[in-house]
Structure 1
Amino acid sequence: MALLFNDFISWEKHCVRTAEALYQPVLAYEIELKGRTEEFIWQNIARAYQVMQEAVKTGLTADMTSRSGMVNNGAKKVAEAPVTVLSPEFKTLISRAMGAKEVNSCMGRVVAAPTAGASGILPGVLTTLQDLHQLPDRKIHEALLIAAGIALIIEKNASLAGAVGGCQAETGSAAAMAAGAIVYCLNGTIDQVFTAVAITIQCMLGLICDPVAGLVEVPCIVRNASAAAIAFSSAQIAISGVNPVIPVDQCVQALGEVGQSMESRYKETALGGLANMPAGRAIEKKVLIQDIEILPDTPNP
């Protein structure tokens, strides 16, 4: 079963040959390789989704002010903005993705899906999708298994970590997971699910990881929002029958190639990009000074 997760084409071939739903090989992977019961897996998926829902709610109702001051209830400001350029549904998606990620930045409980830095994307996407289409929890839980399978393949052939592949590997992977989950939930074909993954990667390719002051706050939170939007647009394009031209496995290969060639200052080191701008350096200095502990004088031995 583990071989199913080497690439997307073998996953698809297996499901076509066996007539299994796309989530079933992932479930088998969890059962066989990790020694878990099916009941345990479904219970934990349900719990993970509950935590995602709670993060969305917390982000939009509690005080989301981070110690650095860079996070200051941005999600609520978007949700309550009197002037909007977005449809109500689109604004809900953006605010939810931001809110769940702000919970992470304010030291709350989230699901790392696949990382804490991208923890607002799947919650924002799945809760909004469920509300829009009145989907049962079971469908969302199956989609989460599929998202996990997508992450396994990306991890094997590229990376999920900003420190290895830049933000394209973190928010990009999460957006790809979300896009595939959307198409599955709306009864798209396997080919359309994987097309959504491919298109999402194409849209996110090359995005650097440049956290200001080394904190997963700026620009991470707004990138969670934009990645959620890309997941929705990619899913719409894929389920409409658009050809991605570059196959999904080659898109993942490109993700890995770009990540390998990216300079280290653009891979979570806070040495380049926004983190290296004057405003970023000023914030970094302020945050570091706040974190210094003033120790009492001690006599020399």
Structure 2
Amino acid sequence: MFNSMAEMVAQAAATNQSLHEVVLRAETAHSDLSRTELRRRMQRRLEVMRHSAEQGITEPVTSLSGISGGNAHRLWNWLQTNQPLTGPILSRSVARAMPVNEVNAGMGCIVATPTAGSAGILPGVLLTLQEAYGFSDDELVNALFTAAGIGTVIVHRAHVSGAAGGCQAETGSAAAMAAGAAVELLGGSPEQSAQAVAITLKNMLGLVCDPVAGLVEVPCVKRNAAGAAQCFVAVDLALAGVESVIPPDEVIDAMASIGRNMDSRFKETAQGGLAATPTGKKLIKLVWEQKS
């Protein structure tokens, strides 16, 4: 669809359209689906995102392995009677990002955005902005098309899987997609959305994928919380007019290069990082002995 952020932004500028409109028009042209059907399908994805986020905060969800779960519910309850240091929008976004991954670990239904391991960031950010600013579902669907376009560029130029590029490729890409979409949702320009993508990814370069026991749980759930935080930092900077010295596409290319050169122990093999700590090794034994 798009080979670069520069191409997306240039097309938006040339046609005086938003990024979501450019993406939607391109998808309509490249698929057999009508504009109405594409929006209907994206609305359905939004509904699944909302359900998975709500499921994990209204009641504790525990993974099948037992090594994660319940923290989103715990945080949400704490927020009802406490003033979080990060403020209401970021804290509630974090609280909505974590349960999606807990639901995933509990074999529930989620939307991979762009992967299961990073699926909480985009819904956590967008659903909280809807709550805070009163955006309609139609506006959130627009934001999801913007995020999809950004994800397409990242897939074309780099990776979105931890096995190929480390966690920078999973939670980094998800946070970048959310940042670009949030900027547009909040009235920013296509160029500002692209800058938010660059700033987010720059701040997450080199992040390794080190799942304890090889499961998408520890540290994945909490990294979605951190990804949401990185997203909001980039959104504020971009909307203020702060730009990345390194252009967005070059940042994506740098992530790809880092991923290619990253040691295999840090690319979803559970052989390095947190997975290789004494506690991580104990959990490997505990989890797989339970399953045998």
CA distance, structure 2, for counterparts of residue 226 and residue 274 of structure 1? 16
Name the residue aligned to 2:58.
61
Q: Give the secondary-structure state (helix, strand or coil) at the position aligned to 1:204.
A: coil
CA distance, structure 2, for counterparts of residue 213 and residue 18 of structure 1? 49
Structure number with greater CO (CA < 8 Å, separation at least 6) is: 2
Is residue 35 of structure 2 the alignment partner of residue 38 of structure 1? yes
Name the residue aligned to 2:286.
286
User: Residues 231-255 of structure 1, C-alpha deviation per residue, up to 9 Å, x if partnerless?
Assistant: 0110011000012111101100101
Asked whether the equivalents of residues 89 and 129 of structure 2 are also in contact (C-alpha less than 8 Å), the reply is: no
Given residue 137 of structure 1, which amino acid in structure 2 is its aligned partner?
D
Between 1:270-279 and 1:66-75, the stretch displaced more is 66-75
CA distance, structure 1, for counterparts of residue 138 and residue 266 of structure 2? 39
CA distance, structure 1, for counterparts of residue 227 and residue 129 of structure 2? 15
Name the residue aligned to 2:267.
267
Is residue 174 of structure 2 the alignment partner of residue 177 of structure 1? no
Higher-Rg structure is 1
Is residue 9 of structure 2 the alignment partner of residue 12 of structure 1? yes
Is residue 33 of structure 2 the alignment partner of residue 26 of structure 1? no
Name the residue aligned to 2:119.
119
Given residue 8 of structure 1, which amino acid in structure 2 is its aligned partner?
M
Name the residue aligned to 1:150.
150
User: Residues 202-243 of structure 1, C-alpha deviation per residue, up to 9 Å, x if partnerless?
Assistant: 011100000000000000000000100110110011000012
User: Residues 141-164 of structure 1, C-alpha deviation per residue, up to 9 Å, x if partnerless?
Assistant: 111001000000001101011000
Shift of residue 89 of structure 1? Answer: 2.9
User: Residues 51-99 of structure 1, C-alpha deviation per residue, up to 9 Å, x if partnerless?
Assistant: 1111111010133111221113000111222664332333211111111
Shift of residue 137 of structure 1? Answer: 1.4
Asked whether the equivalents of residues 63 and 103 of structure 2 are also in contact (C-alpha less than 8 Å), the reply is: no
TM-score by length of 2: 0.96
Aligned ranges 1:134-213 → 2 under 5 Å: 134-213=134-213
User: Residues 168-219 of structure 1, C-alpha deviation per residue, up to 9 Å, x if partnerless?
Assistant: 0000000000000110001101111000000000011100000000000000
Name the residue aligned to 2:236.
236
CA distance, structure 2, for counterparts of residue 90 and residue 24 of structure 1? 27
Given residue 60 of structure 1, which amino acid in structure 2 is its aligned partner?
I
CA distance, structure 2, for counterparts of residue 117 and residue 267 of structure 1? 13
Q: Give the secondary-structure state (helix, strand or coil) at the position aligned to 2:203.
A: helix
Shift of residue 25 of structure 1? Answer: 2.4
Name the residue aligned to 1:295.
none
Between 1:18-27 and 1:68-77, the stretch displaced more is 18-27
Is residue 280 of structure 2 the alignment partner of residue 251 of structure 1? no
CA distance, structure 1, for counterparts of residue 89 and residue 11 of structure 2? 36
CA distance, structure 2, for counterparts of residue 118 and residue 179 of structure 1? 14
Shift of residue 274 of structure 1? Answer: 0.3
CA distance, structure 1, for counterparts of residue 59 and residue 68 of structure 2? 13
| Structure 1 segments unaligned to the other structure (5+ residues) | 293-301
Q: Give the secondary-structure state (helix, strand or coil) at the position aligned to 2:250.
A: helix
Given residue 62 of structure 2, which amino acid in structure 1 is its aligned partner?
T
| Structure 2 segments unaligned to the other structure (5+ residues) | none
CA distance, structure 1, for counterparts of residue 188 and residue 147 of structure 2? 14
Given residue 262 of structure 1, which amino acid in structure 2 is its aligned partner?
M
Q: Give the secondary-structure state (helix, strand or coil) at the position aligned to 2:270.
A: coil
Identity %: 44
User: Residues 82-130 of structure 1, C-alpha deviation per residue, up to 9 Å, x if partnerless?
Assistant: 6643323332111111112111111111000101000110110000011
TM-score by length of 1: 0.93
Shift of residue 46 of structure 1? Answer: 0.6
Q: Give the secondary-structure state (helix, strand or coil) at the position aligned to 2:285.
A: helix
CA distance, structure 2, for counterparts of residue 175 and residue 122 of structure 1? 7
Between 1:88-97 and 1:144-153, the stretch displaced more is 88-97
CA distance, structure 2, for counterparts of residue 143 and residue 248 of structure 1? 19
Q: Give the secondary-structure state (helix, strand or coil) at the position aligned to 1:44.
A: helix
Between 1:14-23 and 1:245-254, the stretch displaced more is 14-23
